[in-house]
Structure 1
């Protein structure tokens, strides 16, 4: 009788090409979210009647402008997932950042001559091309990031979005004060264009297509991901996906996350200005604190995720549930606290806002990684479906705020908004806890028997040596 030999997958020493790709994708997320949120700050100055030239837009028009990004964003999510699977993530993420950069550069002149209609059109086009961001990013993560480093490196990438929001909110106030709101869009467009050139030269769709990667690092990534011989491509099993309850549990959690997150992201500058009476420059700094907290907290959470799985303290499934609960139930409690903050107590209000957004970092190693756990071969398609549905919520949430808030200076109306977001956070995460799993699905690899697939399930990742 032969002896079964377990081959240890040795991690190459030092930094590798996968780390360079991680950094480039981190910057892509940073610039994408900067351009996604810049209007939330710019519109405060664009509609300020104290300026010599301002736009006399009603709150309804402003809400339409803020939500218009998501009209386009939702439309191409599912096609974006399929395109990422077919052509790879590099092409799509390049299109996304480059087009958004060009539109940002065109925004100031277009707004002057085309009014709010032009602004809405630009935001829709930016949303259309940013629809590729998450599907292509999920595809690139599934190609480049070894299982042993998934928590840490994927967190670095996705947390770039929060740092982008924070830096945008900080910089926007100073840029608008010094050179006018137009400088916000010019800065975003220029930085995005520089990234595009760098990524075209250094970026790669997969380790197999990289000309810079070493044989040792390539073998390490392929072995870790169970695809020695190169990545395989299969037609997307939409019927299997439609009946996969663990995936839909992740979609529900994604919807809850988007309701709370985008309610705060789009409305926080207005809340700061109208309720807390904070000027534009200070508004940007204070509004950025929650996203800086989220960015900073994402790293210990990502590291703890890898550690818990590697040490076998919890299964992958329970680890995902734990951190998703931190990421959604934590903000739910903080928003209730914010609702009862005494009127005029700006310090406590900012602290509660910071906690509600900062602790939300848990979702990066929660529902966000379920698609990759369940079916890495179809992770871009799964994320496209999930993001499409969840971002319908991103359209609805600001509009609901517009309906609820008739007087922007009335704290009691904002309290209703915060209570609603808290309830959505709670019940969507409860559904996630009850019905999700990280077990690799048999339909991930149609060529293999179910028994073989089970051997590769992420639930076994804790036994891999690094």
Structure 2
């Protein structure tokens, strides 16, 4: 039996994740003395960045109801039909999709901190212009601003993924990444739950744009001051924690200068499986996110105050489950109960096929069964959290050095298709009070979940690909992928030949 203690002097080949060894490979991780460190502070900053980013994109979904349906005499409102509202809701994705690949390249070149911070400043200012743009019922100007919001928010996922690839050790990847991305649900909960109170205030519906813009602006300034692109860029991190993170990420310090292996990406079956999984999740998530307020108001006959709180409930449950499911995923993988690949596929299946079943059941509910409909909706959206331990961290599994550009491609493609989701609703749902028309929408979404997750099961993998390595070394059947390597990790190799 041979023990290998991985230290700072370990060759790059070993640290990058590939080593030619015969026999069985077992890993035993020593206790990390940095139970809470700078990486967790950075994760917290990114968490709030996700939350306030979703303030900027979800506010229109909450505001569209009072903007088009007066609550009291004298309220300012606009007579926009269902197709116009769907057009407004989908216009965000036009800019969002276009920004993805450029955002990934910018984050890789200049770092996620600068790109995300500046983009959020711009998005915040544009958001606070929405009430002015809507004056006089000019939905075309609103659509234009939503496109601009999409362009600025398009940097969010590629930038955060670029940052996480540097900050999230493999042994904590599910927990840290899921915790950060759960900020999306946290932000959605807050903005939807408080929207009714904002609408009832003296500010009315314009208040939701003023408040969300101001909060996001404050965060962006804080992030530009205290954020860091990587452990080596932090001025407060200890040497022990820095080495621990760098050895366990698999992302080289020279990754900014590495050319993106486009040919390898677009000929990689696991990457296509990942794209399919992200497309399925994104279609379902945004269909529900943009249409739940209207569905509750028109079909379930819930008033605006109840609508706001109940619209937030599914995302609150999703946020809680993110924090529960992710450590379970890490535990199962770290203890070798599941391989990383099996774990990613299992949790992605839970995160897409349980919502699929719930949507089918909810499609048969009417206003007399509103409690059952809300229950199914909450379960369905809530269990979406499991997919965060599936497709969402898979970019870093496949290639830590190019996680940002990979996210820009998969997120761009997923949202390119998903921008049609609100348009499909606008085409199918002519009478918003007719449950049978909403049933068609829910069946379409369930079908997307079914097919996309099946493709991930067939083609998905969770091992570092050969094109991630700076030396571009090929893998072979005798190569072993070391999934957890660090200064405090021992690799135990037991010969079995």
Instruction: Give the 5 Å matches for 1:108-147.
Output: 108-112=131-135, 115-147=138-170
Query: Could you tell me how far apart the structure 1 residues matched to 2:485 and 2:461 are?
Result: 13
TM (norm. structure 2) is: 0.89
State the SS of the aligned residue for 2:419.
helix
1:239 pairs with one of 263, 276, 293: 263
What is the CA distance between 1:149 and its match in structure 2?
Answer: 1.0
2:467 pairs with one of 438, 443, 458: 443
Query: Could you tell me how far apart the structure 2 residues matched to 1:228 and 1:125 are?
Result: 34
What is the CA distance between 1:116 and its match in structure 2?
Answer: 1.1
* Deviation string, structure 1 residues 153-198 (Cα, Å, up to 9, x no partner): 1111000001111111101111011230011011101111111121
2:317 pairs with one of 290, 293, 296: 293
Query: Could you tell me how far apart the structure 2 residues matched to 1:255 and 1:355 are?
Result: 21
> Does the 8 A contact of 1:63 with 1:398 survive in 2?
yes
* Deviation string, structure 1 residues 210-232 (Cα, Å, up to 9, x no partner): 11211111111112124676656
1:20 pairs with one of 41, 45, 50: 41
> Does the 8 A contact of 2:248 with 2:485 survive in 1?
no
Query: Could you tell me how far apart the structure 1 residues matched to 2:246 and 2:299 are?
Result: 53
State the SS of the aligned residue for 2:142.
helix
* Deviation string, structure 1 residues 306-341 (Cα, Å, up to 9, x no partner): 100111001000000000000000100111111223
| Structure 1 residues 3 and 320: CA distance shift in structure 2, 3 A | closer
* Counterpart for residue 83 of structure 1: 106
Gaps of 5+ in 2: 7-28, 492-497
Q: Given the alignment of the two structures, is residue 319 of structure 1 paired with residue 343 of structure 2, yes or no?
A: yes
Q: Given the alignment of the two structures, is residue 47 of structure 1 paired with residue 60 of structure 2, yes or no?
A: no
More deviation, 388-397/324-333:
388-397
What is the CA distance between 1:110 and its match in structure 2?
Answer: 2.1
Q: Given the alignment of the two structures, is residue 269 of structure 1 paired with residue 293 of structure 2, yes or no?
A: yes
Query: Could you tell me how far apart the structure 1 residues matched to 2:389 and 2:412 are?
Result: 20
What is the CA distance between 1:394 and its match in structure 2?
Answer: 2.0
* Counterpart for residue 118 of structure 2: 95
1:420 pairs with one of 424, 433, 444: 444
1:371 pairs with one of 387, 392, 395: 395
* Counterpart for residue 182 of structure 2: 159
* Counterpart for residue 34 of structure 1: 55
Query: Could you tell me how far apart the structure 2 residues matched to 1:44 and 1:118 are?
Result: 18
Query: Could you tell me how far apart the structure 2 residues matched to 1:274 and 1:283 are?
Result: 10
More deviation, 227-236/319-328:
227-236
Query: Could you tell me how far apart the structure 2 residues matched to 1:299 and 1:16 are?
Result: 18
Query: Could you tell me how far apart the structure 1 residues matched to 2:339 and 2:114 are?
Result: 35
More deviation, 219-228/175-184:
219-228
Count of residues in correspondence between the two structures: 464
Q: Given the alignment of the two structures, is residue 355 of structure 1 paired with residue 379 of structure 2, yes or no?
A: yes
Greater helix percent: which structure? 1
Query: Could you tell me how far apart the structure 1 residues matched to 2:84 and 2:367 are?
Result: 28
Greater strand percent: which structure? 2
1:382 pairs with one of 394, 398, 406: 406
| Structure 1 residues 22 and 95: CA distance shift in structure 2, 3 A | same
Query: Could you tell me how far apart the structure 2 residues matched to 1:357 and 1:66 are?
Result: 20
* Counterpart for residue 5 of structure 1: 4
> Does the 8 A contact of 2:161 with 2:404 survive in 1?
yes
Let me know the Cα RMSD of the aligned residues.
2.1
Instruction: Give the 5 Å matches for 1:59-70.
Output: 59-70=82-93
- Highest relative contact order (Cα 8 Å, sep 6+), 1 or 2? 2
Query: Could you tell me how far apart the structure 2 residues matched to 1:150 and 1:356 are?
Result: 24
What is the CA distance between 1:254 and its match in structure 2?
Answer: 0.9
What is the CA distance between 1:445 and its match in structure 2?
Answer: 1.3
More deviation, 449-458/34-43:
449-458
Gaps of 5+ in 1: none
* Deviation string, structure 1 residues 254-274 (Cα, Å, up to 9, x no partner): 111111111110000000000
More deviation, 59-68/95-104:
95-104
> Does the 8 A contact of 1:152 with 1:303 survive in 2?
yes
> Does the 8 A contact of 1:438 with 1:458 survive in 2?
no
> Does the 8 A contact of 2:47 with 2:181 survive in 1?
yes
* Counterpart for residue 223 of structure 1: 247
Query: Could you tell me how far apart the structure 2 residues matched to 1:403 and 1:57 are?
Result: 15
More deviation, 153-162/445-454:
445-454
Query: Could you tell me how far apart the structure 2 residues matched to 1:197 and 1:465 are?
Result: 41
> Does the 8 A contact of 1:233 with 1:377 survive in 2?
no
Q: Given the alignment of the two structures, is residue 173 of structure 1 paired with residue 157 of structure 2, yes or no?
A: no
